[in-house]
Structure 1
Amino acid sequence: MKKLLIPLIVLVLVLAACGNGSDDNGDKNDKTTYKQDDGKKVKVPKHPKRVVVLGTTYAGGLKQLDTNIVGVANLVDDSKVLKKKFKGVKKVDPEKVESVAKLKPDLIVTYNTDKNLKKLNKIAPTVAYDYQKHDYKDQHKELGKLVGKEDKAQKWIDDWDKKTKNDSKEIKDKLGKDTTVSIIKDFDKKVYALGKTYGHGSEVVYDSFGMKMPDKVEKATKKNDLAEISNEEIPEMAGDYVITPVAKGSKLSFEDKDYWKNTDAVKNGHTIKVDEGIYWLNDPYSMDYERKDLKKQLLDK
């Protein structure tokens, strides 16, 4: 009996090993179809194992979804929030296709404006998003759909809505429901008033906190979600509170001008300078930092 039992056990183990091996191969070669923003369909791995993210905007979202990222655009290091999250991950220059190829990705995620799309598609299936098409929640849902983590993406959104609903009540109870907030950005010798979905804290302030935008800003930004304004227009675009994103250590070009100093926001100490390196992003990690930072500064002021 023992002589028969041993070969049977060996046979069972061999068959089990073979079964595991075929599952691994099947998983490795298993593909799904993903519809891109331009309507084109691309075959992508159901469970990608080696993802390279060239679109910095999507890096934090894919990381939050526990995606195995083997390479990420070097711009993540401009954000102290994302720099910590991608410690030990290979940083690549999005312009240098060769550095991407060396990482042997099975999926590449980038912007639809990437000039190297044809070359990237030869390396691995490449999904190119239209940044303007998605708000931060929709963007996270799409990333969840791409990597088979839709439930995890939705959970983050549900948790976010719950947290920010409480934040909104706390802020409005202290500042008042009709308090207005502007986001004014100083960039390349031009000044812009930002709309409701242009990043730089706008999604947090207007969508999540539910705060109001000055009427003139709302009208000016309605079409393109931002509006270039003259220096003389700054006072009329300034809300009760003004958020100004700037590069770390930099000054606003209008910081010492009388038209800025004489606004009610400046006189009342209601200006909030934020770190451009973090605030231009709207992934879950960056958004949570912005949520906490803006809530604290608004309540403190």
Structure 2
Amino acid sequence: MKKILLPLLALILVLSACSNQSDNKSSKNEGETKTYVQDSGDKVKIPKNPKRIVVLGATYAGGLEQLDANIVGVADIVDDSKVLKDKFKDVEKVDAENVESVAKLKPDLIITYNTDKNLKKLNKVAPTIAFDYMKHDYKEQHQALGKIVGKEDKANAWIDKWNKKTENDGKAIKDAIGEDTTVSIIKDFDKKVYALGKTYGHGSEVLYDAFGLTMPKTVEQATKKNDLADISEEELPDMAGDYVVTPVAKGSKLSFENKDIWKNTEAVKNGHTIKVDEGIYWLNDPYSLEYERKDLKEQLLKQ
């Protein structure tokens, strides 16, 4: 009997030791950090495997969700998008300007914009990454998020799939509306009218990068410096392409919608205007972009 018990006891001890080593290793990994270089050039120590991320920069919420990051809180503005509202229905919503509401969630990582006025306070709550929105295009943005949460492969896989899919979309659209047909994005905000550049969201990434469509030369020149241009209503005919996309907030109308100068543009007279939901279109995460891709393709092909 002893001959049987002794080997069994030895086996139990070995398994127990292995289990403890595995637990210790797992515990150790949870506490590990890595250095992340901010857009500002500053370095910040962040968790190697963040477990409680609060996303105050709504631009980055969908991307992190697509990468299966551990998000415990997100800026309540995501609910303005019917696409993201569903994705974050079970995640705590916080006021992006209320540091106390963030602290209550005990984050181990906070992600926000470099324009956040509470950066110093947030850094006292948890390591904080402050993105400069204008420093990355949407693909670089997704790669950066992948690097933060250790999911670079998944981020790159999404980009590869997106490139192939949208290349085919672009060919189909150009075959239908013409290779040299121009498309512009014009929106109004706070009593001003703007022509948008190639990376200012609102469908620009889909139209110009993914589909490879052409921007009017007038818009390209006007938006060259700041990626958008404050224009007068009198400039609308010059800025309007063969097709015009107009982002509009839910329940709102374009300030120039009923004015003759707008009605007399070729795009309007030809029925080539596309009104889109600004609540979705201002975002450029994988989920929002997929919605925009399908929506814009459908509307361009049926014009």
- Give the TM-score normalised by the residue count of structure 1: 0.98
Q: Which runs of 5+ in 2 are unaligned?
A: none
Shift of 1:13: 2.8
Shift of 1:3: 2.1
2:118 is matched with: 116
Shift of 1:6: 2.9
Cα distance in 2 for residues equivalent to 1:25 and 1:200: 43
Amino acid of the structure 2 residue aligned with 1:117:
L
**Secondary structure of the equivalent of 1:192?**
strand
**Do structure 1's residue 297 and structure 2's residue 294 form an aligned pair?**
no
1:280 is matched with: 282
Cα distance in 2 for residues equivalent to 1:138 and 1:3: 60
**Do structure 1's residue 154 and structure 2's residue 156 form an aligned pair?**
yes
Cα distance in 1 for residues equivalent to 2:28 and 2:299: 52
**Do structure 1's residue 263 and structure 2's residue 289 form an aligned pair?**
no
Cα distance in 2 for residues equivalent to 1:149 and 1:78: 27
**Structure 1 stretches (4+) deviating beyond 6 angstroms?**
none
1:167 is matched with: 169
Matches within 5 A, 1:67-78: 67-78=69-80
Cα distance in 2 for residues equivalent to 1:11 and 1:34: 41
Deviation per CA, 1:223-277, whole angstroms, max 9, x where unpaired? 1111111111111111110000010121111111111111111111100000000
Deviation per CA, 1:41-91, whole angstroms, max 9, x where unpaired? 111111111111000000001111110100000010000000011111000
**Secondary structure of the equivalent of 1:114?**
coil
Deviation per CA, 1:111-136, whole angstroms, max 9, x where unpaired? 11111111111111111100010010
**Do structure 1's residue 13 and structure 2's residue 15 form an aligned pair?**
yes
Cα distance in 1 for residues equivalent to 2:126 and 2:189: 36
Amino acid of the structure 1 residue aligned with 2:254:
L
Cα distance in 1 for residues equivalent to 2:137 and 2:183: 20
The sequence identity of aligned pairs, in percent, is 72
Q: Aligned match of 1:197 in 199, 202, 206? A: 199
Matches within 5 A, 1:1-301: 1-301=3-303
Q: What is the aligned length?
A: 301
Cα distance in 1 for residues equivalent to 2:217 and 2:67: 38
Deviation per CA, 1:125-175, whole angstroms, max 9, x where unpaired? 111100010010010111111111111111111110000100000000010
Cα distance in 2 for residues equivalent to 1:99 and 1:77: 17
Moved more, 188-197 or 9-18: 9-18
